[in-house]
């Protein structure tokens, strides 16, 4: 979606093959192979991240939906992401060679990238029109904490919330340098995406790393702070147990979940529902039941995550690397009530 997930998604791709050995005995004519591979990577990123999604800045949106659904059959687009997702599906017991899944997965990423250029060409209001808010009656545009899950489609969700009167802030992973393994065009796209998040929200958001105080101050000032709930474990962090399909135990980071119990205002969550027949999207905004117990909040969000995963699991972009959710890293701690 964005936040930490979409930054990590840039590197959660199919692992490259072993590089050719280069030593004093390597013929000089073999060295340009690495350069050629880098050029191919840049060309794929040019096509998948810039040229094809860039059409959304110019074309009517209903044309874009038809075009991207047709192009989602092409193996030239999102090649590394789709290849990486097959390993993740196999890891979770799903068939890796599913052409329907591949097409939907590819389509979700095309929309995710097209949203950036839609906002660039049509503004945040034009982007919001691609994702109406469902059941908006009776929803008060007030501050608080709003959770989401990493199922792509996040940028228009922010635009739609802003259009509904919310003062929207995104908690995102800071991007200070080009991540290892990320090409120049992909890095340029990542920087553009961060810029468009600021344009859509009307503010610079809240970067991770010491964000707790800024989140609290923003909510106290009436802001709606949007943050991902499904974040994989890291060493030295607090974790909470969650369930994945098949009652498989897994872990989410607990920091923002614990913080939610200490903050004023209603707790909300939003999910994006994509109709696979029409390819139209709507935003569903839910007010969570009040609770002071961490386990109850986690259970509520976990159930919503599982429902969304069952409904449109193809949009979850952690498929290239779901293994991280099932590992309890060294130095992590279990957080309970």
Kindly write down the DSSP assignment for every residue of 235-283, as one continuous string: TTSEEEEEEEGGGEEEEEE-HHHHHHTTS-S-EEEEEEEE-TTT--EEE
- Segment 198-210 mean pLDDT: 93
The token pair that represents 124 in the structure block:
């945040």
C-beta separation of 265 from 224 below 8 A = no
In the chain, % helix, strand, coil (3-state, to 5) comes to 50, 15, 35
* Closest to 304 in 3D by CA, of 255, 334, 262, 268: 268
Q: pTM to 2 decimals?
A: 0.90
- For 30, the 3-state DSSP assignment is helix
Q: Is 193 a residue whose pLDDT tops 90?
A: yes
Q: Report helix angle 61-71 to 99-128, nearest 10.
A: 160
Instruction: Look at residue 22 in the predicted model and tell me its pLDDT.
Output: 43
- Segment 187-194 mean pLDDT: 96
Instruction: Look at residue 317 in the predicted model and tell me its pLDDT.
Output: 82
Q: Tell which wins on pLDDT, 21 or 61.
A: 61
pLDDT confidence of 210, banded at 50, 70, 90? confident
Q: Which helix (H) or strand (E) holds 158?
A: helix 154-163
Q: Residues 149-176: pLDDT tens digits?
A: 999 899 999 999 999 999 999 999 888 8
pLDDT confidence of 19, banded at 50, 70, 90? very low
- Segment 113-120 mean pLDDT: 98
* Closest to 65 in 3D by CA, of 33, 108, 102: 108
Eight-state DSSP code of residue 160: H
Instruction: Look at residue 20 in the predicted model and tell me its pLDDT.
Output: 42
Q: Is 203 a residue whose pLDDT tops 90?
A: yes
Q: Residues 238-276: pLDDT tens digits?
A: 999 999 998 999 999 999 999 999 998 899 999 999 999
Instruction: Look at residue 23 in the predicted model and tell me its pLDDT.
Output: 47
Separation between Cα atoms, residue 279 and residue 107, nearest integer Å: 10
Most distant pair of Cα atoms in the chain: their distance: 73
Eight-state DSSP code of residue 28: G
pLDDT confidence of 74, banded at 50, 70, 90? very high
Instruction: Look at residue 152 in the predicted model and tell me its pLDDT.
Output: 84
Instruction: Look at residue 15 in the predicted model and tell me its pLDDT.
Output: 46
Q: How far is CA 166 from CA 212, 262, 286, 310, in A?
A: 20, 21, 14, 29
- For 95, the 3-state DSSP assignment is coil
Instruction: Look at residue 11 in the predicted model and tell me its pLDDT.
Output: 54
Instruction: Look at residue 173 in the predicted model and tell me its pLDDT.
Output: 87
Q: Residues 21-50: pLDDT tens digits?
A: 444 454 545 658 888 888 999 999 999 999
Q: Residues 284-302: pLDDT tens digits?
A: 999 999 999 999 999 999 9
Instruction: Look at residue 16 in the predicted model and tell me its pLDDT.
Output: 46
Q: How far is CA 323 from CA 251, 315, 327, 328, in A?
A: 11, 17, 7, 11
Strand arrangement, sheet containing 224-228: 133-134, 281-287, 267-274, 144-148, 224-228, 168-172, 206-207
- Segment 314-335 mean pLDDT: 94
Listed in sequence order, the residues at least 6 apart from 299 whose beta carbon sits closer than 8 Å to its beta carbon are none
């Amino acid at each position: 979606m964005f936040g930490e997930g979409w930054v990590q998604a840039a590197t959660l791709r199919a692992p490259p093959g072993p590089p050719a050995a280069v030593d004093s005995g390597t013929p000089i004519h073999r060295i340009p192979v690495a350069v050629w591979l880098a050029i191919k990577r840049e060309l794929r990123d040019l096509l998948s991240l810039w040229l094809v999604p860039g059409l959304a800045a110019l074309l009517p949106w209903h044309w874009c939906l038809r075009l991207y659904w047709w192009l989602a059959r092409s193996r030239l687009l999102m090649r590394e992401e789709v290849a990486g997702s097959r390993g993740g599906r196999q890891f979770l017991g799903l068939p890796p060679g599913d052409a329907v899944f591949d097409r939907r997965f590819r389509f979700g990423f095309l929309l995710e990238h097209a949203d950036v250029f839609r906002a660039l060409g049509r503004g945040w209001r034009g982007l919001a029109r691609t994702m109406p808010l469902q059941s908006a009656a009776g929803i008060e545009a007030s501050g608080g904490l709003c959770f989401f899950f990493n199922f792509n489609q996040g940028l228009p969700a922010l635009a739609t919330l802003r259009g509904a009167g919310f003062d929207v802030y995104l908690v995102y992973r800071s991007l200070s340098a080009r991540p290892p393994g990320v090409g120049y065009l992909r890095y340029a796209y990542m920087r553009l995406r961060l810029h468009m998040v600021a344009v859509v929200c009307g503010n610079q958001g809240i970067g991770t790393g010491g964000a707790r105080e800024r989140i609290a101050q923003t909510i106290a000032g009436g802001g709606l702070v949007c943050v991902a709930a499904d974040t994989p474990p890291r060493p030295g962090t607090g974790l909470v147990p969650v369930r994945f399909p098949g009652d498989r135990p897994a872990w989410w980071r607990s920091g923002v979940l614990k913080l939610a119990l200490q903050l004023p205002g209603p707790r909300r969550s939003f999910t994006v529902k994509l109709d696979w027949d029409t390819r139209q999207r709507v935003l569903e905004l839910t007010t969570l039941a009040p609770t002071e117990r961490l386990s109850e909040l986690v259970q509520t969000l976990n159930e919503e995550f599982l429902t969304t995963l069952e409904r449109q699991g193809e949009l979850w972009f952690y498929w290239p690397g779901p293994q991280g959710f099932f590992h309890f890293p060294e130095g992590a701690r279990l957080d309970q009530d």
